[in-house]
Structure 1
Amino acid sequence: MEKRSTWKGMRTVGEIKRDGNIKAEVNPDHLYTTIQREEKVFQPLKIPQALQEALPYNLKPKTAAQDIDPTSGRVAVVLDHKERKVANLFKMLHELHGEKLSKMEEEKRRRMNKFSKLKTGEEERKLKKQKEARKQISRTINKNLLH
């Protein structure tokens, strides 16, 4: 009898490295690194003057209005004695109107509560009557069935 030899191919690189206890070298190009990018600084948009004049009013750039402080041109208003009295009277009228509205709301809420209680009472009475009617009908049906 002849011996058969089993075929064995070449060893792979991984097997050779494992047998020789050799570690794989890391390629630094294959590693993830954080990318440092500079912040982009854009130049301000410049529209030619001729084009600005040709634009309709609602599309014209309004850069001048943004730069102005809204409180810079204001003038302090000081009321004289008569104007102060008128302002106080208007304030009082406004407060009285508010109180009147709140009283009306309260009265409306009271009326609505009273009405809802009345309605629930009527509903209860109606349900009671219906229940009594059903009982009466059941009694008469039972009497007729028994006789």
Structure 2
Amino acid sequence: MKKSILIIGTVVLSILNAHATTLTSALNPITISVDITNEHLLKVYDWKVETNIGVYSGIALSVEDAKRMILLTSSGEIIRASIIEGYFVLKTEAKNNSKRNYFWEVETVTGYAKGYSSTEAYAYKMMQLVASGDAIVSKKIISQPQQ
């Protein structure tokens, strides 16, 4: 009895599997041609600093901003290595904030907290919630594109 149920089940599944089809959608290749000129490009600087506590990185729009961010993120720590690299991106990509991660860090009189958020407004809100009435000693928000 058990063997006949197993055989019937195997046959039914085999028939269903044989008649199964995969739904494929027709690809509609649309080719968009865009001429990229120097006016469409923006030079950004990727910075990274390694300290005795950890590694921090981000993107800045100038070398001076990158150096300032290195100093801000490594304040009170021993810098082991730092690097700043420049590269070109499309201006539209650099100004697109919908695909960014925001690292936030806040230090109050009574404590310290850090985290990530998907928007800058949410990062500020999280810092306010964490501080909740305490006097803020320092705060940082670092933005970089999602990878």
TM-score by length of 2: 0.25
User: Taking CA–CA contacts closer than 8 Å with sequence separation of 6 or more, which of the two structures ends up with the larger relative contact order?
Assistant: 2
Q: Which protein is richer in strand relative to its size?
A: 2
TM-score by length of 1: 0.25
Structure of higher CA gyration radius: 1
Q: Which protein is richer in helix relative to its size?
A: 1
